[in-house]
Structure 1
Amino acid sequence: MNYTILILPGLGDSGETHWQNYWLQHFDTSQKVTQKDWNNPILEDWLESLTASIEAAEGEIIIVAHSLSCSLINHWSKENKGHKIAGALLVAPADVDSPAHTPEEIRNFAPIPLLKLEFPSIVITSSNDPYISVERAAFLAEKWGSSFINIGEKGHLNSESELKYWEEGQEILQSLLQIIESNK
């Protein structure tokens, strides 16, 4: 794999048993975007950290975003064109527009941008994710120009889902890489 994989955790960071931490160990070219405050996210601060990580990364980038960071990458993409992001895996996006689905401390990430992304992307959701409905995730995928995959009842695809290295997610990542390579 000739890409830098930028891992973008969501609210509260990814716990020790989160699949994103397993991927950081598994993929030699992976790096984690670190935020100043994981528990009280401020959109502008998170955008600043993301920008710094993108600028520091070597070569083309694959974004692997979870939860709140799916909104983050869409906010970033709205303001940044012609960048070196080759593609994105957007896993379990949190519906920051819905007080019924997400906590108040992430409301400053609303509204979710509904613009088509400039790069290939795949939205992955679970049919029993408490932070977004399947219908809303499919709607966001359509607006972002992303492929959409519902992987069944696996919760928020976080530590509680006990995915470890999440082989199914790695297969989906490989399909994203094939899409990227076929578009070159």
Structure 2
Amino acid sequence: MKTSDCDILIVPGHDNSGEDHWQSRWERQLSTAQRIVQENWDAPDKDAWVARIVRDVAQAQKPVVLVGHSLGVVAIAYAAPLLPNGKVRGAFLVSLPDVERADTIPAIDRAFAPIPREPLPFPSVLVASRTDPHCDYAKAEDISYAWGSAIVDAGDAGHLNTQSGHGPWPEGLMRFAGFLKQLS
């Protein structure tokens, strides 16, 4: 699948993705990419976030590929069974936060717990770091197996965001291009 063959819906996490975040860069770089805009980035509401994903997917004109980061990944997992059958062709998921962990996750994000464990109804990849402060690699790997997602070991990469040095993240864009090719 080429980027021109699909609507790429960017699903950021808590606090949105800043100007230099790889999601924002991809949104500017990929002609068919657009952000799913939540009403409240600072105080995420699970039901509102899921409803917005469902609405934006339903309104897409082309087959959809979702690109989630952090809390956006969990929101996608909650939205998955509510999405129009066959509309989403795949999901590229990055840096799952362990919303079930009280020690590193803000209470407002823990409202997204438990993490859904039902298989996703579309092909997916979960990119996880060995040094993500918000999720142990073993937990991300366990969830990826439950979802039926391919797991990608990003190594020592933190939370794969601007703070961890992943503004441009060219390796991620190459990995995403390979994922799209598999969806053909």
Contact 2:15–2:41 at 8 Å: present in 1 too? yes
Contact 1:120–1:179 at 8 Å: present in 2 too? no
Alpha-carbon RMSD: 1.2
Aligned pair count? 181
Is the aligned partner of 1:108 residue 2:111? yes
The code of the aligned residue for 1:145 comes to: G
TM-score after normalising by structure 2: 0.94
Question: What per-residue deviation string (whole Å, max 9, x for no partner) do you get for residues 112-152 of structure 1?
Answer: 11011111100001111000000000001100000001111
The code of the aligned residue for 2:44 comes to: P
Partner of 1:154: 157
The code of the aligned residue for 1:132 comes to: C
Q: How do 1:1-184 residues align onto structure 2 when only pairs under 5 Å count?
A: 1=3, 2-80=5-83, 82-181=85-184
TM-score after normalising by structure 1: 0.94
The code of the aligned residue for 2:76 comes to: I
Distance verdict in 2 for CA 1:81–1:115, change over 3 Å = farther
State the 1:162 CA deviation.
2.5
Task: Work out the CA distance in 1 between the residues paired with 2:74 and 2:10.
Answer: 14
Task: Work out the CA distance in 2 between the residues paired with 1:87 and 1:14.
Answer: 21
State the 1:163 CA deviation.
2.2
Task: Work out the CA distance in 2 between the residues paired with 1:157 and 1:103.
Answer: 18
Q: Which runs of 5+ in 1 are unaligned?
A: none
State the 1:172 CA deviation.
1.2
The code of the aligned residue for 2:123 comes to: P
